[in-house]
Amino acid sequence: MRTKKDVNAIIEALKGLYPDAICSLEYEKDYELLFSVRLSAQCTDARVNMVTPALFQRYPTLADFAAADVDEVGQYIHSCGFWRAKARDIVGSAQMLLSDFGGKVPDNMEDLLRLPGVGRKTANLVLGDIYGKEGYVCDTHCIRITGRLGITDGSKDPLKVEQQLRKAIPPGESNNFCHRMVLFGREWCTARSPRCQECPIKALCREGKGK
């Protein structure tokens, strides 16, 4: 595992590369982010952003989603894959948000995990992006790259990676750090053919600097 000095150097280098650490999913309302993250499971953010404008236009309010026919929602999100389960979770979440949370997306992990289809990755993203709280979003990019950098021990288990990141990354940096992991993973540290020779933070990477 890396020292605090090493981790801080990586954080600062990523800030230099990606000063605007923003979520790649496009949304305006808090529940729209929640639904978009559900759609992004085993689907690209780019595809989700193509689908959601028509979806959110068809169901402009949370009440509209709660009253929606699951199969009809499925027609709008079909290209995102696993559309039946995703449509069912979106409608179910809308209903629960209205019945249990006054129409507001919860601001804590425990309540977020009660919503259909919401796991820790989604909950962490919502906490970070909507409420500005610490959020350790352990998606495939974050898991892969933090392992390569040596910030984590290379585990593929999202919960273990999250626990290790909570010890390594300061809470105030967590949300933006994870967004930068996605951006860095798409541009440089790809899954199959990482651009190690050209990588701008090669000197900070345990795995890449040996290549």
Catalytic residues: 121, 139
Mean pLDDT (10-residue bins), the chain, 211 residues: 94 96 93 97 94 98 98 98 97 98 97 97 96 95 96 96 97 96 95 93 83 56
- Determine the pLDDT at residue 1: 77
* Predicted local distance difference test score (pLDDT) of residue 211: 56
CATH number of 4-21+135-210: 1.10.1670.10
CATH classification of 30-131 is 1.10.340.30, yes or no? Answer: yes
Calculate the CA 18 to chain-centre distance: 16
- Residue 209: alpha-carbon gap to chain centroid: 28
Cα–Cα distance for residue pair 138/113, rounded to 1 Å: 15
Task: Enter the DSSP assignment of 7.
Answer: H
Residue 206 pLDDT: 83
- Residues contacting 67, CB < 8 A, separation 6+: none
Q: Are 171 and 5 in contact (CB under 8 A)?
A: no
Q: Which of 98, 104, 89, 185 is nearest to 137 (CA)?
A: 185
Predicted structure pTM score? 0.90
What is residue 210's predicted lDDT score, i.e. its pLDDT? 56
Residues 189, 208: Cα–Cα separation, whole Å: 9
Residue-range domain boundaries for the chain:
4-21+135-210, 30-131
Which tokens go with 60? 């402009």
CA separation for the pair 28, 22 (Å, rounded): 13
Dist. CA 58–CA 54, nearest whole Å:
6
pLDDT value at residue 126: 96
